[in-house]
Amino acid sequence: MRVPPLKLAIYPTVFLAVLLAVWGCKTRPVTDRGDHGERVAANQPPLAAGQGIGERSGRDHGVGEQGIREHRLPSTAEGHDHLGPLPFAECPVAGDSARKPDKLLARAVESYAAGAFAIAYSCADMATELLDTSVEAHHIRAAAAAALGRHDIARLAFALALALDPDDPETLAAAAEFYINVLPPRHRDTTSVGLEYARRGRLRARAKNRRIGRSLRARLALLEAQAYNDLGRGDEALERVDRALSLAPALIEARHERGVALFNLCRFDEALEQFKAVLVAVPDDPYAHHHLGLIYERMGEEQASDDHFHRARELAPGDFWPPVLLSPAEFRSETERAVAELPGELRQRLAGVVVEIADIPARADLVAVTPPFSPTILGLFRGLPDGIEVAGGLGHNLPPQRAIVLYRKNLARAAKTRTELDDQIRRTLLHEIGHLSGLDEGDLRRRGLD
């Protein structure tokens, strides 16, 4: 599955709770590495081309639907990794205190909380020089580097912290946050790494139940839910987010993520109530507005849909842009041009296959697989692939007529320009022809047609 690169807003305040837990909630000295526990392997998401239907999603390898959520780690990177030296800032800790890791780390956390990320990085870096086995120092250094857009440094610092203590729940939570919500580009592999960190952190937090606060356990469950939503596994996301809410009922991010899971599971009425509740708590949440726009669009409430889409664009113009919406006739003409441009062999494969145009996916097509396809898919193949014959004796259970469906409004939201839209139409058409030929999502991804 494939979407254009996505930039989402990144906010420091929520992630700060995990960072403060590193410093304020530890019951062990910074030199202790804690216990090691078992590793739980992350499962790969199931292929989604079964039951005679294949789809091309508006999510990047299942990751990063436009407007899915806000990020929590602050960043000046705007989706790119800064190269070259970090911004220099002198750590203000001086004298004897500059030789005490605890003093340096306390100032690093204080500076991070104040948004002085360069100072936080400098103080944490000094602490690592004095005590290179300090998990906390490497953890805070990683968070500050990520906030400065130096994802390369952040990755190495998180890796070093987890090499020192592979099962520290606070560091696992921060690393999961980084891989799921921050590290560009959004990709199913990085999300799977983050999911494994969150899962392992949850297991270790459960083993250390007396020492680990409910808020951190809720955060870890929420991170798992976010990863599962991004991987197109809404049923598992819903189970994890309900666990997070049982631990922290007031966690509004979990309420938001629950809405995302319900939306992805095509439980639109329930999702509607979740996003309404989010807006009661956070009236200017652009991502909740965007999802409400999508839901009202499905309900046929055009004015309400337009109002919420417009508000989302006002609040986060870098994340939401005006759709490149062609009229049905214009879209049909562009699709016909795309078909005419196909090589002869591919055009021949379309013989007997209807190429349909629809505004958005029908619910019946979405729920034809378990878990359902995302409502933001760009295209879909319906029917049996080439070479698969209908078995005798099926009676009324005949497969649907073979068809490729392109979704006009979903494609319009996936592009910023007419050129991008034309490219998306052609890539989506090729993707669905791949399903017609019997290729699954993994096959298409390896061919660069995700």
Percent of the chain with pLDDT over 90: 70
DSSP letters, 322-379, are ------HHHHHHHHHHHHHTS-HHHHHHTTT-EEEEESS--HHHHTTSSSPPPTT-SE
Query: What's the pLDDT score for residue 341?
Result: 96
Across the range 74-98, mean pLDDT stands at 70
**Residue partners of 410: CB distance under 8 A and separation at least 6:** 58, 360, 361, 376, 377, 378
Cα-flanking dihedrals φ and ψ of residue 414, to 5°?
Answer: -85, -5
Predicted confidence at residue 243, as pLDDT, reads 96
CA 30/CA 44 separation, integer angstroms: 35
Which residues of the chain are in CATH 1.25.40.10 domains? 12-48+62-265
Residue with tokens 């530890």: 26
Each residue of 182-208: pLDDT tens digit? 998 888 999 999 999 999 999 998 887
**Average of per-residue pLDDT across 220-245:** 96
User: Average of pLDDT values for 18-42?
Assistant: 36
Q: Which range, of 13-27, 166-180, 193-207, averages the lowest pLDDT?
A: 13-27
pLDDT at 52 over 60: no
Chain-wide mean pLDDT for the chain? Answer: 83
Residues whose CB is less than 8 angstroms from the CB of residue 291 and which lie 6 or more positions away in sequence, other chains included? 67, 259, 260, 263, 271, 275
Token pair for 449:
């047609």
> What is the per-residue pLDDT for 77?
40
State CA 315 to chain mean position distance. 20
Rounded Cα distance between 302 and 377, Å, is 20
Which stretch of 58-72, 140-154, 271-285, 321-335 has the lowest confidence by average pLDDT? 58-72
> What is the edge-to-edge ordering of all strands in the sheet holding 354-358?
53-56, 379-382, 403-407, 354-358
Any idea which residue has 């909630």 for tokens? 25
Residue 82's pLDDT is what? 53
Task: Find the range with the poorest average confidence among 111-115, 213-217, 272-276.
Answer: 213-217
Q: For the chain, give every residue range classified as CATH 3.30.2010.20.
A: 328-446
- Summary count for the chain: helices (H), strands (E): 19, 4
Judge whether residue 386 has pLDDT over 50: yes
Q: At residue 144, does pLDDT exceed 70? A: yes
Residue, of 185 and 175, whose pLDDT is higher: 175
Q: What is the 3-state secondary structure (H, E, C) of 381-392?
A: EECCCCCCCCCC
pTM equals 0.81
Lowest mean pLDDT, pick from 43-47, 123-127, 203-207: 43-47
| Residue in the block written with tokens 């606070």 | 170
Mean pLDDT of 251-259: 97
By residue count, the chain amounts to: 450
| Tens-place pLDDT, residues 413-422 | 999 999 999 9
Q: How far apart are CA 231 and CA 233, in angstroms?
A: 6
When mean pLDDT is compared across 32-36, 153-157, 306-310, the lowest value belongs to 32-36
- Contact between residue 334 and residue 326 where contact means Cβ atoms under 8 Å apart: yes
CATH topology for the 328-446 domain: Zincin-like (3.30.2010)
pLDDT in the model for residue 357 = 97
Greater model confidence, 6 or 448? 448
Q: What would the mean pLDDT of 69-76 be, rounded to a whole number?
A: 39
- The Cα 319–Cα 69 span in angstroms is 11
CA distances from 295 to 176, 211, 390 (A): 29, 41, 36
> Which range, 2-16, 34-48, 56-70, 83-97, has the best average confidence (pLDDT)?
83-97
CATH homologous superfamily, domain 12-48+62-265: Tetratricopeptide repeat domain (1.25.40.10)
